[in-house]
Structure 1
Amino acid sequence: MNKTWRAVILYVRLIFDLAVDGIFSLFWHRRNKTIPPLDLKKHAVLTESATALAKKIRQKELKSEDLVRAVVERIKEVNPIINAIAVGRYDAAIAEAKEVDALIANGLPDAEFDKKPLLGVPFTTKESQAVEGMPFTLGLLSRRHVLATEDSEAIKRLKDAGGIVVACTNLPELLVWQETRNPLYGQTNNPHHTGRTTGGSSGAEAALTASCATVVSLCSDVGGSTRMPAFYCGMFGHHPTPGTTDCRGVLFRNGEEKDSMLALGFISKHVEDLGPLTKIIAGDKAPLLKLDREINFKDIKFYYMEKSKDLSVSTIRADLRGAMKRVITRISQQTMSTETAPQPYYHKAFNHMYSIWKHWMTKEPEDLATLCTNNKGSANGIVELLKKMVGLSRHCLFTVVRLLEHQYLPKVDAEWAEKITKELKEDLFSKLGDNGVLLMPSGPQPAPYHYSCFLRPYNFSYWAIVNTLKCPATQVPLGVNAQGLPLGIQVVAAPYNDALCLKVAEYLSKEFGGAVVACKYK
């Protein structure tokens, strides 16, 4: 396709996107409900990092019970508006916190605290993580009575580190969409504007974090599910190098899966929490991530990609282009050298981001048609669509659409997809090495209105292409636009260079103000 026709298509696409926003705003713009302010006299601890709170509990400056009660009280304040909680275990969490306080009061040796770096710190998790005795529905009506019989490996490791589960949170049905909605728990709303999406599939975790209603948010990411909600809600989100976090107990995984794009991660208001939390769930594989590596910021090589030429995704909006330019300018001023100034980067694989990810999803162990029936058969997209049209389907429309795509649209040429992925990896990682990062757009626009993703189904591709690279990436907030919606970028590094992503995120946090909470303080 020549440049003229490409430019015409992009221009038409931009007009279409602006029209979509205008039409959906007529319904959703005035349906915004304000999140209650955070009372600093009662709940100031909820503004602090998990690592700082763990230290205060250890030094007897803060009781775990008080912290857990603060989280529970805040959840009850904001959840009627954002609808982020699937099921809470508030009384059990408070009881466990009391036990922690009693242990500390009786005296614990430093060695025990070292084994439990999260002792007394509460956390929440997406309902797709198995928590013993808690609902494990994955948003399916057919699983509405299913309870988890044991903890997932990540939950076990967080508990062993002293963490206390407060609640399981909402998710898209079977985790397959850019909105957090399902037939069991309903729709989660973005706390910055409740007429807009939180993203998926960890949207409820991001909404709670942005509302100062959780301290630690455990997430997972196979196509942007940690980074997308972090972006839409103005938080930090880290996607570790895949293969380093044990995924046993996520969906139906047994932890033996090889070469998966899926990795567990966290969303947080504080970039300082991401490394220590990742270490906990990485376990004996944590050293592979080199999170304790000393890094001189001035030694980091920077590359950047301002936009993709993939015609299946929307044009990058002006506010996000401006945010990227501000980052490049600030880093250029910091490096003070033309040799180390950020350099543009592009590869032809970015012209086909969604198609590449779509192919690699066929290598993942989950089969959507089987999952839809709770592993008791195979759903048919056309049948489900007909049932949906007469109100008999038990699934969300986006699940039906995904089924139709999987079963009836053309498959991606496997040889081509694997060849171009290999070429992208070799080219990009040879440039990045062990001291380089790529700055990428997070998505084409800030948080869209509810349901508008149906008309722009592939806009998550900026996150998804990173999954196909099986490398680390950190979502970094960069303030807000004129409408008060969070802006941001992704920081990508070569595999096992997670520390580079977090170092750059730390720098950008200081330069651009860090996380953007969705509530006022009083």
Structure 2
Amino acid sequence: MGNNIWKAVYLYTRLAFDLVVDFFFSLYWDRRKKPIPDLDKKHAMLTESALTLAKKIRQKELKSEDLVRAVIERIKEVNPLINAVAADRYEAAIYEAKEVDALIASGLSEEEASKKPFLGVPFTSKESQAVKGLPFTLGLWWRRKEVATEDSEAIVRLKAAGAITVAATNLPELLVWQETRNPVYGMSRNPHHTGRSPGGSSGAEAALAASCASVVSLCSDLGGSTRMPAFYCGLFGHHATPGNTNSRGVCFRKEDVEDTMLSLGFISKHAEDLGPLTKVIAGDKADKLKLDRVVDIKDIKFYYMETSKDLMVSTIRADLRGAMKRVITRISQETTSSDKAPEPYYHRGFDHMYNIWKYWTTKEADYKSFLRTTSTGDANGLVELAKKVVGLSHNCLFTIIRLIEDQYLPKVDSEWAEKISKELKEDLFTKLGDNGVLLMPSGPQPAPYHYSCFLRPYNFAYWGIVNALKCPATQVPLGVNSQGLPLGIQVLAAPYNDALCLTVAKYLEKEFGGAVRACKLK
């Protein structure tokens, strides 16, 4: 009883602290908020799904060149405000689009078309995804002249499916933060409110997509890097069951790693794009994800978790609690039998989301070398901090803090972490089976102000726990709050039940209006 009272006091105190933080940051950032340009009618095609655009190109209703030029023109309109593009290949993309149009004009067989489901559709990808001839810095100053010498496997597969690379986008230094900022390219901004974070590490991808400046956004997710930006920018984002999307050429990975929390994925304005795009980068493993499985929403068993009791993360804000309640109410109305009515779910493992994620990062084959790599060898966190204080370090403060945590703070007890992880997985996945999903918060609050994450460094744990569980999850937008900031929830399923997440995403898209664009159509 006494422990519960202490926790309640702590949570209310934490909420008060967060509200005070937001108030003071708002005094600076709200005055610097700038709206992005509205979408011109001639670019209205950029509101459509990648599947729709691919079909129009195949049927000669739209030229790939026109679509690629529209994307480029829109990027040039919005990028001065959101700073999302790290490097471009505009001329090469236009040339490739002309080749696609010539191929289609000459006649494309059904067999050829089936092998290239995204023929002529432009895409962007995070700069940590190697694209031959484009910078490959990962936001590190000492790598600022590095250029990729070959394409990552995911880029290879997207190109084989007919898609056209337009640009590489910004990212946090070493991908380790909730904001998209580094010393090479600077800081990206959320198009819904340029004084707020678009998330990390795929924040620039989300910023472009929400601005209708990208049709396909290729991302990666080790701790929420696809789903967090999708949430902050009002979009859909899918984290496929890990180990099934080839990671060769991502960051420092020279070969694919199957035993991993990392999964490549996509951010999109349309839920219907997520499955077909995932199928492309999953390749011969796509069947394991059962992406073509047809599921009736009435056959899905729903569970929900309204909040975590992890004291390292902030309290869930009222607007997000309200969004969750609206979803539960709507699903309850849809459900015709009592055994399918949404039920609350909780396991004590959710009390330790951050520490569970932190432990399992130590099992990632390349995480520590990834974090410590410098031009001269391994970095020391305290040395880098001292250099930062006197202006001699090119590393971001958040990278240095992560390094100090890794090198000097107490390690998570391995026996405890593995035991509680196993218990959580067994309990949750047994409950969900092959026809159940868990609705859970996307995060404690909508898009935070720039730099405020330093005072709330563990709030990404709502996404990170999904990575630690190595299961699929889809981020679903649910309108906006009174400040015009996107709301949303995550839909989680047992491993290899990606189709359940995507089915629920499509249902909620229909019921709640889908993605929230950061611009109006003129």
Contact 1:370–1:377 (CA under 8 A) maintained in structure 2: no
- Looking at structure 2, the residues matched to 88 and 153 of structure 1 have their Cα atoms a distance apart, in angstroms, of 20
Question: What's the CA shift for 1:280?
Answer: 0.2
Partner of residue 28, structure 2: 27
Question: What's the CA shift for 1:305?
Answer: 0.1
Over 3 Å counting, the alpha-carbon distance change for 1:437 and 1:375 in structure 2 is farther
Question: Which amino acid letter does the alignment assign opposite residue 198 of structure 2?
Answer: T
- Looking at structure 2, the residues matched to 29 and 399 of structure 1 have their Cα atoms a distance apart, in angstroms, of 27
Partner of residue 129, structure 1: 129
Partner of residue 451, structure 2: 451
Partner of residue 223, structure 1: 223
Per-residue CA deviation, residues 231-285 of structure 1 (Å, 9 max, x unaligned), is: 0000000000001100000011133424100000000000000000000000000
Question: Which amino acid letter does the alignment assign opposite residue 52 of structure 2?
Answer: A
- Matching of residue 234 in structure 1 with residue 234 in structure 2: yes
- Looking at structure 2, the residues matched to 464 and 370 of structure 1 have their Cα atoms a distance apart, in angstroms, of 18
Which one is further off, 366-375 or 462-471? 366-375
Question: Which amino acid letter does the alignment assign opposite residue 385 of structure 1?
Answer: L
Over 3 Å counting, the alpha-carbon distance change for 1:241 and 1:369 in structure 2 is closer
Over 3 Å counting, the alpha-carbon distance change for 1:338 and 1:2 in structure 2 is same
Per-residue CA deviation, residues 79-108 of structure 1 (Å, 9 max, x unaligned), is: 000000000110110010001111111112
Partner of residue 73, structure 2: 73
Q: How does 1:236-275 map to 2 (within 5 A)?
A: 236-275=236-275
Per-residue CA deviation, residues 311-337 of structure 1 (Å, 9 max, x unaligned), is: 000000000000000000000000033
Partner of residue 324, structure 1: 324
Question: What's the CA shift for 1:377?
Answer: 1.1
Contact 1:370–1:378 (CA under 8 A) maintained in structure 2: no
- Matching of residue 478 in structure 1 with residue 478 in structure 2: yes
Question: What's the CA shift for 1:44?
Answer: 1.1
- Looking at structure 1, the residues matched to 370 and 198 of structure 2 have their Cα atoms a distance apart, in angstroms, of 27
Contact 1:135–1:148 (CA under 8 A) maintained in structure 2: yes
- Looking at structure 2, the residues matched to 204 and 27 of structure 1 have their Cα atoms a distance apart, in angstroms, of 22
- Secondary structure (helix, strand or coil) at the match of 1:134 reads coil
- Matching of residue 9 in structure 1 with residue 10 in structure 2: yes
- Secondary structure (helix, strand or coil) at the match of 1:265 reads strand
Contact 2:362–2:368 (CA under 8 A) maintained in structure 1: no
Contact 1:157–1:281 (CA under 8 A) maintained in structure 2: yes
Question: What's the CA shift for 1:365?
Answer: 2.1
- Secondary structure (helix, strand or coil) at the match of 2:425 reads helix
Question: Which amino acid letter does the alignment assign opposite residue 482 of structure 2?
Answer: A
- Looking at structure 1, the residues matched to 181 and 221 of structure 2 have their Cα atoms a distance apart, in angstroms, of 17
- Looking at structure 1, the residues matched to 313 and 366 of structure 2 have their Cα atoms a distance apart, in angstroms, of 25
Question: Which amino acid letter does the alignment assign opposite residue 25 of structure 1?
Answer: S
Partner of residue 141, structure 2: 141
Which one is further off, 1-10 or 270-279? 1-10
Q: How does 1:424-443 map to 2 (within 5 A)?
A: 424-443=424-443
Q: How does 1:86-485 map to 2 (within 5 A)?
A: 86-368=86-368, 371-374=371-374, 376-485=376-485
Which one is further off, 364-373 or 18-27? 364-373
Which one is further off, 166-175 or 26-35? 26-35
- Looking at structure 1, the residues matched to 430 and 214 of structure 2 have their Cα atoms a distance apart, in angstroms, of 39
- Secondary structure (helix, strand or coil) at the match of 1:426 reads helix
Over 3 Å counting, the alpha-carbon distance change for 1:276 and 1:367 in structure 2 is closer
Contact 2:130–2:250 (CA under 8 A) maintained in structure 1: yes
Per-residue CA deviation, residues 192-250 of structure 1 (Å, 9 max, x unaligned), is: 00000001000000000000000000000000000000000000000000011000000
- Looking at structure 2, the residues matched to 165 and 64 of structure 1 have their Cα atoms a distance apart, in angstroms, of 12
Corresponding pairs, count: 521
Question: Which amino acid letter does the alignment assign opposite residue 402 of structure 1?
Answer: R
Question: Which amino acid letter does the alignment assign opposite residue 285 of structure 1?
Answer: K
Question: Which amino acid letter does the alignment assign opposite residue 332 of structure 1?
Answer: S
Question: Which amino acid letter does the alignment assign opposite residue 31 of structure 1?
Answer: R
- Looking at structure 2, the residues matched to 498 and 255 of structure 1 have their Cα atoms a distance apart, in angstroms, of 24
- Looking at structure 2, the residues matched to 397 and 80 of structure 1 have their Cα atoms a distance apart, in angstroms, of 25
Question: Which amino acid letter does the alignment assign opposite residue 21 of structure 1?
Answer: D
Contact 1:369–1:403 (CA under 8 A) maintained in structure 2: no
- Secondary structure (helix, strand or coil) at the match of 1:259 reads coil
Contact 1:118–1:162 (CA under 8 A) maintained in structure 2: yes
- Looking at structure 1, the residues matched to 254 and 341 of structure 2 have their Cα atoms a distance apart, in angstroms, of 45
Runs of 4+ in 1 over 6 A off after TM superposition: none
Alpha-carbon RMSD across the aligned residues, in angstroms, is 0.9
Contact 1:437–1:500 (CA under 8 A) maintained in structure 2: yes
Question: What's the CA shift for 1:55?
Answer: 0.4
Q: Percent identity?
A: 76
Question: Which amino acid letter does the alignment assign opposite residue 480 of structure 1?
Answer: V
Question: What's the CA shift for 1:368?
Answer: 4.4
Question: What's the CA shift for 1:338?
Answer: 2.4
- Secondary structure (helix, strand or coil) at the match of 1:339 reads helix
Question: Which amino acid letter does the alignment assign opposite residue 463 of structure 1?
Answer: W
Partner of residue 487, structure 1: 487
Contact 2:447–2:485 (CA under 8 A) maintained in structure 1: yes
- Looking at structure 1, the residues matched to 310 and 243 of structure 2 have their Cα atoms a distance apart, in angstroms, of 28
Which one is further off, 359-368 or 119-128? 359-368
- Secondary structure (helix, strand or coil) at the match of 2:338 reads coil
TM-score, normalised to structure 2, is: 0.99
Question: What's the CA shift for 1:371?
Answer: 4.6
Question: Which amino acid letter does the alignment assign opposite residue 366 of structure 2?
Answer: E
- Looking at structure 2, the residues matched to 515 and 253 of structure 1 have their Cα atoms a distance apart, in angstroms, of 32
Question: What's the CA shift for 1:487?
Answer: 0.1
Question: What's the CA shift for 1:296?
Answer: 1.3
- Looking at structure 1, the residues matched to 259 and 343 of structure 2 have their Cα atoms a distance apart, in angstroms, of 31
Contact 1:310–1:352 (CA under 8 A) maintained in structure 2: yes
Question: Which amino acid letter does the alignment assign opposite residue 38 of structure 2?
Answer: P
